[in-house]
Amino acid sequence: MTDERKRHGELLGRFKNVRVMAVGDIYLDENIFGSVTEVSLEAPIPVFEVHEKRHNPGAAGNAACNAASLGGRVTMVGVVGDDVNAGIVRRAFEERGVDTSGIVTDPSRATNTYGKLKAGGHNIPMQEVLRTDTPKPRMVSGSAEEAVIAQIRRLAPEVDAVLIGDQVSATVSDAVYAAIMECAEKFSLKTVADSRARAGYFAGVDVIKPNDREAGLAAGIDVVDEASLMEAGRFLTTRARNAMVTRGPEGITVFAADGSVETVPIRPVRAVDVTGAGDTVAATIVLTIAAGGSLHDAAVLGNLAAGIAVAQPGVVTVSNDELRDAVLGPDGPEKLKSVEQLRGIVERLRRDGKKVVWTNGCFDLLHAGHISYLLSARACGDAMVVGLNTDASVRALKGPERPVVNEMDRALVLSALECVDYVVLFGDPSPLRLIEALRPDVYAKGGDYTLETIVQEERRAVEAYGGSIAIIPGREGKSTTGLINKISGKP
């Protein structure tokens, strides 16, 4: 292990000691899943049948949740309305380990809510059919502004860092920002700001973290090449002490207070959804520098965290264990995890409102039947864990000449499939122990199984915690044994 990797592992271990005050705009992200069933009798409009609702804190709230998931002790300061959605977003924070004692209620405004209605069905992928939003919030003022400042001053002596999220410029007023910087100087707090439209506003902050477009907006230019990036970055360092500009697949370019510039590359990853990745990076930066890391350390860890986030659909939070795995490197393919690692991953997925699918098998000589089955299983949820039989267990099941492909190579092939999110090896005759440990929402079974022929212990375990079982029929004439016989010339 290199010295840098060892240092980064030690930094991750210190995240649990970092106390963060997150200040900024709070949104409730509401995802509503269902199907369009008919045309209304009252008007020529579709009828949307609601199947499920999921809620996540958005804007600065998402950054706060990421900081908590990464191990920090986080308190949120912001403004919500006196309405039903305020209660929903508070509960969503609490479920994700974020202290809500700093949130201020303003009866004169609605809780900022951003909704997506997604319709789909059997063999029809989910797609957005409608978006909803509340009116653009005005900048906080009057008694609500005073209450936000009071919370900042109350919490400042108890924290190590301030994470500022300025997505819609409705919480961080001049007076609020002045209070943050006054407290930061008085109590030696690290400060990191992330702003969609005002990256140049945050004078004196330790780190400003815009993306390249936001950096250009602050500098009044379009960032289209290295020269314009340098111009925007150097402008930002006339305001903030340091700037860290995220550039998607190009990584993060660090503009330091001493005039040095460094671009830290990102590990190649197939991006599925970049929504919320900037919040993940901001959370990683504030924890890293508060834990004693350098700007370079923050960029490396921020890139790794973003890579984990964008490889998954929807807005997700990245756990400390996931980031540690990325830092220290797995012994096999990146998607191959231990049961202990998967416990934390599945818990985080479920907390974020994601439905987890479990399936298992030997997957020796992957063929079209396997692919069809795995695609159908993955369609039952938002993330899929594949339990892969070890070589020893395959021999016990199939005979001494199997498997044809060893377990690590089988894990690598499965990991290359987009529909497979995680792989775990197991050697027991039944996956019951892993099912009980991970408690997947859906247990997918293939072939000729029915609810009556599934191992009853497995069925009882799944149904006991409220999970469901999906029976996925196999494809006629597609089997590994048949493929082996055809290759060997056996009848």
Residue by residue, DSSP assigns 120-183 as EETTEEEEEEEEEEPPPPPPP-HHHHHHHHHHHHHHGGG-SEEEEEESSSSS--HHHHHHHHHH
Whole-number Å distance between alpha carbons of 390 and 404: 12
254 strand-pairing partners: 244, 262
124 strand-pairing partners: 121
Which of 254, 250, 207 lies closest to 233 in space, CA to CA? 254
The active-site residue out of 25, 160, 212, 279 is 279
38 strand-pairing partners: 47
Quote the DSSP letter at residue 478.
-
Length of the chain: 491
Residue by residue, DSSP assigns 384-443 as EEEEEE-HHHHHHHH-TT--SS-HHHHHHHHHT-TT--EEEEE-SSSTHHHHHHH--SEE
What are the C-alpha distances in Å from 302 to residues 15, 307, 321?
13, 9, 14
Q: How many CB atoms lie within 10 A of CB 320?
A: 18
Q: Is the Cβ–Cβ distance between 279 and 63 less than 8 Å?
A: yes
Q: Which amino acid is at 56?
A: N
Strands 124-133 and 161-166, bridge-based pairing: unpaired
Tokens standing for residue 202: 């945050």
For residue 470, with 0-12 CB atoms within 10 Å meaning exposed, 13-18 middle and 19 or more buried, which class applies?
middle
Whole-number Å distance between alpha carbons of 180 and 191: 9
Q: Which residues contact 261 (CB under 8 A, 6 or more apart)?
A: 230, 233, 253, 254, 255
Q: Is the Cβ–Cβ distance between 176 and 145 less than 8 Å?
A: yes
Quote the DSSP letter at residue 15.
G
Q: How many CB atoms lie within 10 A of CB 253?
A: 22
What are the C-alpha distances in Å from 422 to residues 360, 401, 417?
11, 27, 10
Tokens standing for residue 54: 């999921």
Which of 86, 28, 91 lies closest to 62 in space, CA to CA? 28
What distance lies between CA 367 and its chain's CA centroid? 31
Catalytic annotation present for 258: no
Question: Active-site residues: which are they?
Answer: 279
